[in-house]
């Protein structure tokens, strides 16, 4: 059984920044001079491919107990990692028909649905994963991401918080919660989470960090 050696590909900062417009007026927050400088926003919006989230493979020790289920999960994961999301969903569905309480099957199928942009299906499957395994931090983390993409920021923040309580060193959970805070306009909390994610080894875009810091400083000065 192989182990994933890398974190998920980062969500594009562009999706975050586009939604931010609903929550603040850049002229009001940054001031006329800074708001007029579009380079700050452009620098924090890197180009990239489609967003993907990848759950880690379970430990090999677990595979000894559920050999067939994990063999199918491996097959589904390979399809998912190769961008064959429909195939991953189909294999996970087959797996779950045979083992209905297999949390990782729901989690991975939810990730594949998310990659296709089916956020309601992603939320449903991550919720099923949590029902099977209440301490599965990944399911809370990826449900937080699906909620955020669907614009349900309060739920996203709550799930991100639960994932962090379950696993304090979960860099992705800090990152996604940081993006949810950013989209909600709470830049101080966003900056804190983004910095923690970076300190835990996640490659957070430095331009996004710089923008979050600038907005947080402006927000704190305004509150003061």
Q: What is the pLDDT of residue 24?
A: 28
Nearest to 217 by CA among 16, 21, 30: 30
Structure tokens at 30: 């940054």
H or E element, residue 192: helix 187-199
Q: What is the pLDDT of residue 66?
A: 66
CA angle (71 as vertex; 69, 75 as ends), nearest 5: 115
d(CA 25, CA 6): 37
Q: What is the pLDDT of residue 34?
A: 34
Q: What is the pLDDT of residue 59?
A: 58
Q: What is the pLDDT of residue 190?
A: 95
Q: Going from the N-terminus, what domains does the chain have, and what CATH number goes with each?
A: 13-223 (1.25.40.10)
Residues 6+ apart with CB under 8 A from 126: 106, 107, 110, 139, 140, 142, 143, 146
What pTM was computed for the model? 0.74
Structure tokens at 132: 């099977």
Spans of the chain below 70 pLDDT = 1-66, 224
């Amino acid at each position: 059984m192989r182990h994933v050696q890398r974190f998920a590909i980062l969500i594009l900062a562009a999706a975050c920044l586009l939604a931010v417009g609903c929550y603040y007026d850049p002229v009001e927050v940054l001031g006329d001079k800074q708001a007029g400088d579009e380079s700050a926003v452009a620098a924090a919006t890197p180009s990239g491919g489609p967003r993907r989230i990848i759950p880690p493979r379970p430990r090999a020790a677990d595979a000894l107990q559920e050999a067939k289920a994990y063999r199918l999960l491996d097959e589904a994961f390979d399809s998912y990692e190769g961008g064959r999301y429909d195939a991953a969903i189909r294999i996970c569905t087959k797996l779950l028909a045979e083992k209905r309480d297999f949390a990782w099957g729901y989690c991975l199928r939810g990730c594949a649905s998310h990659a296709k942009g089916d956020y309601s299906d992603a939320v449903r499957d991550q919720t099923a994963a949590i029902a099977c395994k209440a301490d599965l931090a990944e399911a809370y983390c990826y449900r937080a991401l699906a909620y955020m993409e669907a614009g349900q920021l309060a739920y996203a923040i709550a799930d991100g918080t639960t994932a962090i309580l379950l696993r304090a060193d979960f860099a992705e959970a800090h990152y996604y919660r940081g993006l949810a805070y950013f989209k909600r306009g709470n830049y101080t909390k966003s900056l804190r989470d983004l910095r923690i994610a970076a300190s835990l080894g996640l490659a957070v875009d430095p331009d996004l960090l710089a923008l979050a810091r600038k907005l947080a400083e402006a927000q704190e000065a305004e509150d003061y």
